[in-house]
Structure 1
Amino acid sequence: MRRRIRTMRRVCWQGTLVKAPTGPRRRPLAALAAAVALVLVTAGCGTGDPAGSSRTERVASLTVLDYYTDGTEHAHWGELLAACGRQAGVTIEHRSVPPPSLVPTVLRQAAARTMPDLLMLDNPDLQQIARSGALAPLRPYGVRTEGFGPGILSAGTYRGEVYGLAPTVSTLALYYNKDMLAEAGLGVPRTWDELRTAARATTRPGRHGLAVDADASFESTFQFLPFLWSNGGDERRLDTPQAAEALRLWSDLVRDGAMSRSVLTWNQADVHEQFLGGDAAMMVNGPWRMTELAKAKDLRWGVAPLPVPRAGAEPVTPLGGEVWTVPRSGSEARMRKAAQVLDCLNEPAHQQKLATWHHTVPTRTDVAARYVRQVPSMAAFVESVRGARARTRQLGPAWPKTATAIHTAVQAAVSGQQTPEEALRRAQRMATSP
């Protein structure tokens, strides 16, 4: 791999010196950081009094950007944003772009100095944008961070400061077809050995026991992390026996026919379709699949925490979901109003409403406890979120490179091109190369 040289320069944003990377980068988010840095240089350092300006500037409206393009989801968020806007005394101009377009859109807005007042980000992307200096820390603007679990706060934290908060989150669990397990005379698998047994016993011509996402994407990494982490593996050191044992579980299930080789091309939506259509007895997926599953009248399904390597262990799953952030817009008054709206989104009643709408988990622990009593089918996800980890907790902005190395190893091992040990040794070299 060609060595890529990165240098740092100090630039100024609203009178604050920040570090901004220069040089070529491999991901759009890194390009965003460079574009933001360029904006800072061309804008220069202000010498006025931002706090003073906030006392005189009247803010009538705020712009909001997210990737909730689904009609129902966009309407739900629009309703809640409008309500929080009224509470803050502003109207909301709400725009959604397709998920792949969010970062390029923000890139263009950063270059044009038209960043939104309130920005939603997929939580693993927060670190890189916060590092660029484009986001404001939330606590100085009065955003409350009490009552959130440590993993949830970690997902929105960069260098000890909270830059983003998620009203609700998601994670992964095991969906199972009750009739297929009963036909095999088996209960819900709780350990890896039980998972192997159940996957093999429920495999039939035209049907596989288990479906996972093992494609060449970050979704595959997301699905593999619970197996890596629950077995004591660590993303900082991929070439360990614990990591190899986790990857061997997947490769053996494909080798034995209990998982289809097509998992190498399936994303999480494809996995859902396999389970919904009766072509898989079990699947690894998130709570966002419940709405469609509930419409399937002839499908009797349940959901349980992901199986663990040994009885008595606790599953460790990754946190999914989006965080809301306040970009540095150059207007202290607008940033304070945006922070008020963000704080409002995280009020208990609003978290409860969002969770009910979208089958997600409220991020305040007391709200989650009330929610699961009202929606028992979410118990496995609420339980798993308590111990869930942010993907960037250990590696920070370096996480995307390791995530790529992980799904590359999954592809190599599950396809049989390399042993789990060989694939993970290569992944470790990829993750740590300059």
Structure 2
Amino acid sequence: MPSHPSRRDLFRLAGAAAAVPVLASCAGAPTTQSAAPGTFTVYWNAGHDYQAYRKVIAEFEQANKVKVNLQKYQWPDLRTRLLADFASGTVPDLVEEPGGWVQEFAISGNARSLQDYVDRDGEAMGFPSDWQPVTVERNSYQGKVYGVQLHLTCNTLLYNQAMLRDAGVAVPTTWEEFLDAAKKLTGDGVHGVALNQDYTYLWPWMVQAGVTPYDPETGKVMTPIADAVAALQFQADLVHKHKVAPVPVSGTDYSGPQKLFSAGRAAMILTGPWDLEPIRKTSPDIDLGVAPPLKHKVAATQAAGVSMFVPAKAARPDLSWDFIKRVTALDVERAATKETGMLMPRVSWAELPEVRSDAALKVFADALPDARDSSQQVRLTGKLGKWEEALKVMYQQVLIQNQPADETLRRFAASAESFLK
């Protein structure tokens, strides 16, 4: 999801070398947070350099008499730099992360508990009461808060209203209706749907099928396994059996389906709010529709989005917490949404007039309470990186290479159950 990760937000690559960051608020890049006295260093995603946040930075600088050094990275490079910092003991004051790192680094001792600040200021700022519950759970460890959600996103159905109307197809609400619609919409150089090669797009289907990714009580993965196999095979069949979707191209780019949709070569895609702006900018004539998540056993989708945390060795956690409070204020969420269309974690954000009056935002906002965190129990094992690498291989073997879902998924499950013990 472009800043994504938000899916994108879900990458956990460690890379071999840190990339040179693009600096926003200072002319030179200090090699450590203490290289420049009075400098407050923030590691941020390159796609989230919003004007709404620039205003927060200016106010923060004025109030605290510091200069913010906003170092912007893509997620893999940010992680590489951060791991090197942890090893050296010299860390930034605040880190934005793509979803999942907070608990990982809480377990490793590299993230600072924020519970003392929450106990002091939580009621006044509406935390956690005004945050969607899933965002608090995914940023807590052993009953303590270690991170605060900045954006909360999810996947749902985007469709070309004109194509559906011309084909006499109703907006699908279930898997069966979705397949039927995709068949009717395929033809004349257009596919009914375009699927993403990114393995994180597996999860909406799995949660709709009622699949539990990992049960720490039993040690079992992808249960009920028969339902997980059926969900995975359903996706592969869209490509290889029914031929209503093109074969996805393996790589690191998750924008392929959006580009096909924008070009009028796909009638439907399953994606998040990160694709709204590219579609509107590149194809303003498309009559874009947004529908709630599909239903199979349940109507649900995957929770994604970014959070912030304070490294355990950060020298000025009071300042870090002040920045967190400022950048998550409701008026800042409102401004960022107006600027970019990003979804936000506050419950009160979903009730803002400008959200309720925007047809696309309203659908996404209404889906957030049904968004589920698919990797939380795995994260708590400390084996998330290994899990995701194995999951990526398995997903692409089935979706792209057309290997049998049953055999491939069961092989993945056996391997995962072994290393998650």
Q: Same fold (TM over 0.5)?
A: yes
Q: 1:302 aligns with which of 273, 279, 289?
A: 289
CA distance in 1, matches of 2:165, 2:139: 42
1:151 maps to what in 2?
Answer: 134
Q: Secondary structure at the match of 2:179?
A: helix
Computing the radius of gyration from Cα coordinates, the structure with the larger value is 1
For 2:306, the aligned partner's letter is E
The residue type paired with residue 356 of structure 2 is R
Q: Is the 8 A contact 1:84 1:345 kept in 2?
A: no
Counterpart AA for 1:336: D
Q: Could you report, residue by residue, the CA deviation over 1:46-93 in whole angstroms, capped at 9, with x for unpaired residues?
A: xxxxxxxxxxxxx9441111122x4x8355533323323434554322
Deviation at 1:108, TM superposition (A): 2.4
Cα distance change of structure 1 residues 368 and 84 upon mapping to structure 2, 3 Å threshold: farther
Gaps of 5+ in 1: 1-25, 33-58, 215-219
Matched, 1:228 2:206: yes
Deviations 1:319-378 (A, max 9, x none): 2221111112353xx111111111111111112122222222221101221152243321
Cα distance, 1:85–1:169 mapped onto 2, change above 3 Å: farther
Equivalent pair of 1:155/1:393 in contact (CA under 8 Å): yes
Answer whether contact 2:258 2:275 (CA < 8 A) is retained.
yes
SS in 2 for 1:187: coil
Q: Aligned-pair distance for 1:119?
A: 1.0
Taking a change above 3 Å as real, the CA distance of residues 66 and 84 of structure 1, as seen in their structure-2 partners, is same
The corresponding residue for 1:105 is 81
Q: Does 1:270 align with 2:253?
A: no
| CA distance 1:143–1:242, shift in 2 (3 Å) | farther
1:136 and 2:120 correspond = no
Distance of aligned partners of 1:305 and 1:264 in 2 relative to their CA distance in 1, 3 Å threshold: farther
Instruction: Answer yes or no: is the 8 Å Cα contact 1:167–1:362 preserved in 2.
Output: yes
SS at 1:361's partner residue?
coil
Name the one with the larger helix percent: 1
Aligned residue for 2:311, secondary structure, equals coil
In the alignment, structure 1 residue 293 sits paired with structure 2 residue 269: no
1:187 counterpart = 2:170: yes
Aligned with residue 55 of structure 2, among 79, 93, 96? 79
Listed as ranges, the matches of 1:12-411 within 5 Å are: 28=14, 60-68=38-46, 70=47, 73=49, 75-141=51-117, 142=120, 144=122, 145-146=127-128, 147-214=130-197, 220-236=198-214, 237-238=221-222, 240-254=225-239, 255-262=241-248, 267-295=253-281, 296-309=283-296, 313-315=298-300, 317-329=301-313, 331=315, 334-370=316-352, 371-396=354-379, 397-411=382-396
Under a length normalisation based on structure 1, what TM-score does the superposition of the two structures give?
0.79
Deviation at 1:284, TM superposition (A): 1.0
State the identity as a percent: 25
Question: Structure 1 residue 136: deviation in Å?
Answer: 1.0
Match of 1:127, as an amino acid?
A: Q
The question of whether the paired residues in 2 share the 8 Å contact of 1:173 and 1:305 is answered with yes
Which residue does the alignment assign to 1:433?
Answer: 418
> Which amino acid is 2:178 matched to?
L
Secondary structure of 1:412's aligned partner: helix
| SS in structure 2 of the partner of residue 100 of structure 1 | helix
CA distance in 1, matches of 2:150, 2:351: 15
- AA aligned opposite 1:324: M
Q: CA deviation at 1:380?
A: 1.9
TM-superposition CA deviations, 1:279-298 (whole Å, max 9, x none): 10000111011112223232
8 Å contact kept, 1:408–1:427: no
1:304-330: CA deviations, max 9, x gaps? Answer: 1221115xx322x22222111111235
Asked if 2 retains the 8 angstrom alpha-carbon contact of 1:126 and 1:164, the reply is yes
Please tell me the residue identity of whatever aligns with 2:286: L
Q: Does 1:414 align with 2:390?
A: no
Partner-residue secondary structure (3-state), 2:396: helix
**2:9 corresponds to which residue?**
none
1:150-190, Cα deviation, whole Å (9 max, x unpaired): 10112212222211112222111111001111121011110
CA distance in 1, matches of 2:113, 2:392: 32
Task: Quote the offset at 1:209 in angstroms.
Answer: 0.6
Asked if 2 retains the 8 angstrom alpha-carbon contact of 1:143 and 1:339, the reply is no
